[in-house]
Amino acid sequence: MIFSHKINGVVIENKNIDFQNNQISVKLHNLSHIPNENDSYNISFTGLRGHHALESKGIPDENDILTFVINRHDYEKVKVGTKTKMSTVRA
């Protein structure tokens, strides 16, 4: 599935899951389609340069919250409240 526009969101959780990885949860603001499980997204985070390809862990719940697992050291600047823009990776 390809979104016709970017989806805006904000990081609402950044939780340690082991010594190397964190789990982040993003509240999506303008979700118009239901993504598939394990879709890949190009995501830009406020404060980080460029777009980052990340794979979702599941589908958004009833509150439009999407979860990703990230490398803690590569994404140190991603904090609760960080704004995001994302779109699905085209297959």
Residue 2 has pLDDT above 60, yes or no: no
Across 70-75, average pLDDT: 85
- Where in the chain are the domains? 7-88
Across 9-17, average pLDDT: 93
Across 26-45, average pLDDT: 82
Higher pLDDT, 90 or 47: 47
What is the predicted pLDDT for the residue at 59? Answer: 81
Instruction: For the chain, give the secondary structure using H, E and C.
Output: CCCCCCEEEEEEEEEECCCCEEEEEEEECCCCCCCCCCCEEEEEECCCCCCEEEEECCCCCCCCEEEEEEECCCCCCCCCCCEEEEEECCC
Return the CATH class of domain 7-88.
Answer: mainly beta
What is the predicted pLDDT for the residue at 3? Answer: 46
